[in-house]
Amino acid sequence: MEQPRTRPPNDGPRRGGPRSAHLPPQARRGPADVHRPVPEAEQAARRVRDGRPPAPPVPPGPRLPGPRLTGLGAGLFCAAAMALSGFLDDLLFGASLTVYGVLFLPVCVLTALWVRGNDLLTAPVSLPIAFAVGLFPVADGRAGLLGRLMGLVTGLATQAGWLYGGTLIAAVIVLVRRVRWVRSRRRRD
């Protein structure tokens, strides 16, 4: 059974003015204005008119991407990077432990720079683990699994300078970033 309609359809303009008067400014624009870029001066005027603070100035020049990794993400990044470095070192340089140690240093720097502010203290912890993960393909493993494990222990013992040096570099970067992060939080509060 069909019910009779009790309200009139809402097809016409509303009472009290044109229909677009109740819409936000971005909805009032016509189809030609949708893809028009808004100049910086007009954006600044809108911010002042709306009572918002002006936008901070954008520093000139290109910037390097600054990914922000969580503590787990930083650990996975450095472990994957060191595993790849170990395989490439074995393939290209015949498992040179010096080349592997040199490749460890940029991974330490990138991990310390890319980890989030809240997870800064996890970066120096994950680096020695990543060093050991990447050292596994480089370790001497002619005598099977036990031989490879012995080569891993030997590689960790003989390459401790690279391990400590890279971890120390990362720790210094992390401490500097942590001090700056704490100071900026205190200024905001």
The pLDDT of residue 74 is 93
In a domain, 134, yes or no: yes
In a domain, 135, yes or no: yes
The pLDDT of residue 113 is 92
Cα separation of the two ends of the chain: 65
In a domain, 65, yes or no: no
Domain interval for residue 123: 71-188
In a domain, 47, yes or no: no
Angle between helices 71-93 and 123-138 (to 10 degrees): 30
The pLDDT of residue 176 is 93
The pLDDT of residue 142 is 75
Place of tokens 């013992």: 157
Number of domains in the chain: 1
Tokens in use for 12?
């016409």
Tokens in use for 123?
């970066």
In a domain, 12, yes or no: no
Helix, coil or strand: residue 115: strand
In a domain, 19, yes or no: no
In a domain, 180, yes or no: yes
The pLDDT of residue 148 is 84
**pLDDT-flagged residues of the chain (< 50):** none
Instruction: Compute the distance between CA of residue 111 and CA of residue 69 in angstroms, rounded to an integer.
Output: 8
In a domain, 107, yes or no: yes
Angle, alpha carbons 57-68-138 (nearest 5°): 140
The pLDDT of residue 13 is 57
Give me the phi and psi of 35, to 5 degrees please: -100, 10
The pLDDT of residue 117 is 84
